[in-house]
Structure 1
Amino acid sequence: MEHRTSAVYKLVPSEIRSLTSEHALGNLRPRQGYKVKLIRDWRPDFAFSHVFHFHLEERGRMFSFEEFRDWSSLDEFRPTLYTPAREKITEAVKNGCSEQDARNSMRWRIGIAYYSFVREMYVVSRFRELGLDARFHPLADALFRTDTWIGSTSVALYIKNGVFRDGDAGRKPPAEDVVGGEESGLRFIQLQIPTQRIWGKAHFPDDRAVEACARKLHMLTAQR
């Protein structure tokens, strides 16, 4: 709770888009990545948002997937993700799946989370480039489903997915359900990204969608 964000406010959207990185999902396909449900639905105690963001703060810039993998395997950082991931793989094997299937699903789980983080950081940096005082904190992201906020307006970013999120349905509850809706004194807006078919790259939202959301946020901010 005492953590302060800094590096995220120095990110440049064009640099995030041009980031060169190893394919975070390897050569896997969805049927392999989602095969082991125990890992598909796994949420580590130290949330992905925290792990990725702390690495961002240490680096001072957006990082590639291989940089993150090397960093997370260092002794001092292993307890946050590396060790829990290996323990979950062992648990999945004990429950009857093959070690290769478990490893594939874990690679997919972490790779998807990485791409989600890159996408969210892009949108935050783009909002700021468009003149919005967009804020981010891993606690708000992990606990309150708020990918960014401007003043008292919470913004949720998601790719339409029937399993994990599709409007009001799916695994992930919207921020308003977590923090109490309009009664909380906050307002809520969602930025939906149409599913893309670009394999091996982060799925960034079309700039027109981001700009339209930014205009709406500007109007909401002006009303308060």
Structure 2
Amino acid sequence: MKFGIVVFPGSWSQQDFYHVIVNVLKEQACYLWHKEADLKDVDCVILPGGFAHGDYLRAGAIARLSPVMRAVTAFAEAGGFVLGSCNGFQVLTEAGLLPGALLPNDCLHYRCRWVHLRVESRQTPFTATIPLGQVMRMPISHGDGRYFIDQAGWRRLVDGDQIIFRYCDANGALAKDANPNGSLDQIAGVCNERRNVLGLMPHPERAAEPILGSEDGCLMFASILDTFTRI
């Protein structure tokens, strides 16, 4: 399987994703510069974390105008797998590929810590092989991670089974103090209606080796690979 990792000026997690894909998973990966419109025949596009274009105006607001995002949009509309983590999630919401918005953390501080998140749906390529209710441990690193959507939009997410991850405690309980940024309904990740685009604020690429303290991120990568082999 071939992964394409989008790189904007200010991205900083692309090398982490590349390392995991190539050295841990033993799959193919390439970088996709933001000015490129050719996705190089990749099977899955990844939008990594960072501060695309310095996050000026609003996180992801400038990045969504890049030529590569027109190609990513067409790729997603054709059913291609798209995964956005942290800043990548912000870019996907700004580009209209995912519903909702990421607002400044309710504490108004940058949060860099480990969190737990609970798998709320297996109906995506990214979670198909992960048990429902599985508690995963991953790090976050963001200042604008508070997920928000209006009441009608939230209802559509719930009814459409599009809430894929929620912040929880180590036992899987949706405790208020387990929510690191004040996200609505403890939401840590959502997918689109077609279920082939996923965004989450935690970093699976930073939780994919024992030396890092967690391998839970590999559960997502394994699910992607398993789904792809069955298409």
Same-fold call, TM cutoff 0.5: no
Q: Which of 1 and 2 has higher RCO (CA within 8 Å, sep 6+)?
A: 1
| Higher helix proportion | 1
The structure whose Rg is larger is 1
Question: Normalising to structure 2: TM-score of the pair?
Answer: 0.32
Question: Normalising to structure 1: TM-score of the pair?
Answer: 0.32
